[in-house]
Amino acid sequence: MTYFKSANYSWIFLGMFCGLLSHLSRAYRWQYLLEPLGYKISLGNSVMAVFAAYLINYTIPRAGEVARASVLTTYEAVPFENGFGTIVAERVADLLVMLLIIIITLFIQFDFIYQFFVQKFNPLHLGIGLFGLLVLFFVGVKFIKSSTTGIALKIKTFVIGLLEGVLSIFKMKRKWAFIGHTIFIWVMYIAMFYTTSFALTELNNIPFGAILIGFISATFSIAATNGGIGSYPIAVYAAFSLFAIPEAPSIAFGWIVWTSQTLLLVLGGGLSLMLLPVFNKNRVLKSSPNKDEV
C-alpha cells in the first residue's frame, strides 16, 4: 500500500493507455481473419467481444475465447466453428511473436543468462539434459507420425490445424496489415510493462533486459492462471530477483501493473457485456422472424 500511495500515476495511466491500444488493435486485427471467410463484422462488436472475452477469462481460463466466438454467432451470424477457428489462428500468430520476443531476449541477455545457468547448473549435465530432450522430441515426432492410436491422431490433427492457421495468415489479402497489427499489439504490451516501471522511483534505472525477462515471466503467469490472479506479482519478482532488484518494489510493481490492467479489462468487459444487446438491438430485431420472441 505504501508503494501504491507514492507511485507516479501519470506513468500508470500511460501504461493503461498502451494496454488499451493493444486491445483495440486486437479487435481491429480480428476483422482481417474473418474477411476471407465472407464475414464483415462491425468494429464495435469486435471490440466488445474482445473485452468480454478478457473479463470471462478471469473466471474460467480460456473460456473467454469460447464466449468471444459466441458473441459473433449471436450478433453477427458468424458460425461458431468459423469464429473460433479465427481465434485459434490469431493465437498461433501471437505465440510466434512471443517466441520471437524470447529469442530476442536471449540474444540481448545471452551473457547474463548463460552465466546464471552455469552458476546454477553443471554445464555438462545441462548439455546432456538438452541432448536428451532433443532425442525425446525426435523420437516422439517419429512415433506420432507412424502411430494410429487415438492420442497420436489427436496430436497430429492439432498440429496440422495449427499449421493451417499459420498458413492461412499468409493467404489473406491484407496479410501485411495483419502482421503489422500483431507486432503492434506486442510492442504495446511491452510498452505497458516498461512505462509502468517508471511509476516507482526504485525501478527507474532498471535494465531493459530485466524488463523483457519480467514481461515474459509475467505473461506465462497469465497463461497458466485465471488472468494472473495472485501469480503475476510473484512471477515479476522471480524475474527481477535475477538482477538483484529488491523484493518489495518488485512485488509492488507486479501488483500495480496487474491491478491497473485488470481494472481496465474489468471496466471494458463489464461495459461490453451490458452494451452488446443495446448496440445490436436493431440488428437482432431485424434478423429475428418474430419480434415478440426477441
Confidence (pTM): 0.80
Each domain of the chain, given as residue ranges in start order, spans 37-119+181-284
Average pLDDT, the chain: 83
3-class DSSP state for residue 15?
Answer: helix
What Å distances lie between residue 168 and 90, 144, 154, 162, 184, CA to CA? Answer: 10, 24, 21, 10, 20
Enumerate helices (H) and strands (E) in the chain, giving the number of each: 13, 0
247 within 8 A of 237, measured Cβ to Cβ: yes
pLDDT in tens, 3-59: 889 999 999 999 999 999 999 999 999 998 888 878 888 999 999 999 999 999 888
Chain segment 93-124, per-residue pLDDT in tens: 898 899 899 888 888 876 766 665 555 556 66
Please provide the distance, in angstroms rounded to a whole number, between the alpha carbons at the two ends of the chain. Answer: 48
Tens-digit pLDDT profile for residues 242-277: 888 899 999 999 999 999 999 999 999 999 999 999
**CA–CA distance, 139 with 157 (Å, rounded to integer):** 18
Mean pLDDT of 176-202: 93
What cell was used for 169?
A: 495468415
In 3D space, the residue among 96, 105, 127, 78 whose CA is nearest the CA of residue 215 turns out to be: 105
Which grid cell is 252? 509492488
The pLDDT score that the predictor gives to residue 144 is: 74
Q: What is the 3-state secondary structure (H, E, C) of 54-120?
A: HHHHCCCCCHHHHHHHHHHHHHCCCCHHHHHHHHHHHHHHHHHHHHHHHHHHHHHCHHHHHHHHHHH
| Res. 88 pLDDT band, cuts 50 70 90 | confident
- Give 224's pLDDT tier (boundaries 50, 70, 90): confident
- Higher-confidence residue of 67 and 168: namely 67
Q: How confident is the model at residue 163 (pLDDT cuts 50, 70, 90)?
A: low
